[in-house]
Chain A
Amino acid sequence: MQLSPEQDIRALLNEAFHSRRFLVTMFVLVNAALLAGGTLWPKAYTASTSIIVDERTIIQPLMQGAAVATDALDRSRNAREVIFGRKIMDVVLEYGGWLKTQPGVEEREGLTESIKKRTLITTVGKNILRIEYKDSEPERAFRVTEKFAELFIQESIAAKAAESRAAFDFIDKQTQEYQDKLVRAEGELKELRSESLDSNVGSESEITARLNDLRSRIDTTQQELREAEVTESSLERQASGEAESTTDLLREGQFRTRIGELESKLDTLRLSYHDTHPDIVQVKQQIQALTENINAERARREQTRRSGKSNESAVNNPVYQQMRRDQSQNQSQIDALTARLADLKRQLQDQLSRGKRMHSGDARLAELTRDYQINRDIYQDLLRRRENARVSMNMDRERQGLTFKIQEPASLPLAPSGLRFWHFVIMGLVLGVLLPIALLYARLRLDPRIRTGSAVVVPNKLPIVAVVPHLWTPAEVKGLRSELVFLSLVVATTIGASAALSAMHVLKVL
């Protein structure tokens, strides 16, 4: 239904008049409820303190880069963690006198939670931390706030000192470890060096030169040996062709000449005679005898040569003798060269194995040296860091790193904060009027039952022929009059009671 504002107000007025008792009852109830609320509402006193957290000190520029300052991001969250920690809360519980009644564990937990709820920690700007605490007693609000600030500063400084102490200890431990590593690496290096004394610098080129020398000498020796061997075989060949002694050969020659002569005589005889001719047979026998002599001579010569005894009768061949001397000399030279070659080869092997040994030693040395250098660098770095940490630690110990300064100390709150009694009184008066009217309006809007003629919406355009108001009888009017008087009195009494209570609150009677 769509009503014009005028109709709306008219309907609301009618409805308000119709439900006048409801309106007054609601007014009284709302006022009573809010007055009761106002009386029971705990008075809250708020004390606050602000702390400047300053990290920039005189020392900082001096220690630039050496000491590391604690990061101050989200300071209020850190502060909340610190302040709401069990340690500080326990101290505060004790200090605030909450433990006098010997509360149980659960009760204690509840107390802690309620203190936490009443404490507000905020950051103002970048470096100012504000702690606000609300309590029903002004004295306690002030003391607890003060204690919070004190404990927070104490705890923060202690935490920071512990942190830098831990950092120093860690770096110190690391430094020790690296020192040990370095000492070990040095030991290994020393051992390796003493193991291969020859593995010193420059030995590689020396070995190479030596190897080259040995190789060229081997080549030369082999050449000489080959030459000697060629000479040997040549002398051998020549010697075999030369008669050992001239005599023997002479006698044999004579026999051979005689045989020749006899053979030619035989041939001539054969021309004239048969083989059976005595001359021929004689000649043949002579040849036979001569051949046997030759053989005997040869056998004797062989025997002589074998026995080495010179036949007296035999005259030594000088050429042969010369050749035998040369041959002997050559032989001894060959022997000397062979021996030298073997020695050179052995030396070459030695040098090669030495070279190999030297290379593997180099690799190990390089590895050890590298380890050593790395360890040394890290160690030096750690030493530097340890000193930085030591300075940081000392700074924190001397309370130079992070300074807390109470900028605004907590003060004793004189007036309660939050909702006051007169707030409730005013709220009661306003709500006492508005709430029932709003309820009536809601009923007017939401209730489908018709409360004004204009709201009738029916098909067939049924006309409203009459809107009959209530017929007031004189008795009713009289009753209404006294009712209105009574209701006005009730409203007046309510307002009066509110005013009286407010006055009592102002005069601190209650």
Chain B
Amino acid sequence: MSKIEKALNRAREAGLQVVPLSDSASRNPAGTAVVAQRTVHPETIPQMAKNEVRMLGETDLVQRGIIRPQQGEEPALQVIRELRTKIVQLSRGQNAVTLVTSVTKGCGGSFIARNLGAAFALDVGKTALLIDCNLADPSVHELLRSATAPGLTDYLENPSLDLKDIIHPLGIARFRLIPAGKRSETAEELFTSRKMKQLMDTVRERYPERFIVMDGPPMSRIADIRILSELADFVLVVAGYGRTTNTQIAKCLGAIGEKKLLGLVFNEEPRIPRIR
């Protein structure tokens, strides 16, 4: 029994309705609205849903600083959703690898990365994978219950580890993540390794509906950004409110190819919330 059959069986057992697809390999024709492609590879999504350890409650999400659909009119939710839609539109039916990087440390690059992932996962037709590439100052593991869960460096350094060992469910439907792993002396050199390239290809190609978000280091680590931006399709640069200057932004942009540069996200704008 293939993996897919097993998964289908498990889904049936869980009471989910599996809709058979006549042409499972067919790709969405270019130019059609991506948001409408909810039925693409439906067999993988129930499987991922099944693998969730335990769904995170609203309190957990709030604690982790992650958007949730219940927030409704929350401006941050709206903006991140729009950002997601923009990326989906630009990727023209394909999945995409988006690198999120801050101009300086503390601009909230990780916040944007995890919420962008969450926004992809909100769409039932898509899954999201967040990879923590900020090896110097990792933050993704904080979202997991276990801080010592194996991650990216472990996988790259240890040939015995399987890819599934480092992809951890978070407790949000259709949202997985790869933490940074244990600290490594040669962490930055790992990005240039062949295994890293293979990893990226694998995660991108295995599930075409999977949108991958890389939580990158700040742009001051210019060498890493250069390498990571080569692995990504789009680069989002996050500038924090009252934290970055025009000079800093201009200085960093030279490292990123103009074609991949999606734009600047201005984060943490203080806005008076509605207090009920």
Contacts and interface: CB of A to CB of B under 8 A. Distances in A.
Interface of A: 13-15, 17-18, 447-453, 455-460, 462-475, 477, 480-481, 484
Nearest to A484: B275
30 contacts: A17-B270, A447-B242, A448-B245, A449-B244, A450-B239, A450-B241, A450-B242, A451-B241, A453-B269, A456-B249, A456-B266, A458-B246, A458-B249, A459-B250, A460-B253, A460-B258, A463-B263, A464-B266, A465-B83, A465-B264, A466-B79, A467-B79, A469-B75, A469-B76, A469-B79, A470-B269, A470-B273, A471-B76, A473-B62, A477-B273
A15 B270 CA distance: 7
B47 interface: no
Contacts, number: 124
- Chain B, interface size category, equals 35 or more
Contacts of B76: 468-472
B65 interface: yes
Nearest to A451: B242
Interface string B101-118: 000000010011001000
Contact of B268 (A456, A458, A470, A475): A470
B74 interface: yes
A447 B245 CA distance: 9
B40 interface: no
Contact of B261 (A14, A447, A462): A462
A472 B242 CA distance: 18
B127 to A, nearest CB: 22
B246 A456 contact: yes
B270 A450 contact: no
Contact of B244 (A450, A457, A470, A484): A450
Contact of B266 (A450, A459, A480): A450
B139 interface: no
A480 B276 CA distance: 11
Interface in B198-245: 236-237, 239, 241-245
A484 B250 CA distance: 38
Contacts of B247: 448
B67 to A, nearest CB: 7
Contacts of A18: 241-242, 270
A475 B246 contact: no
- Which 4 pairs between the two chains have the least Cβ-Cβ distance? A465-B263, A18-B270, A471-B76, A469-B271
A464 B264 contact: yes
B267 interface: yes
Contact of B265 (A458, A465, A472, A473): A465
Contacts of B243: 449
Interface string B79-91: 1101100100000
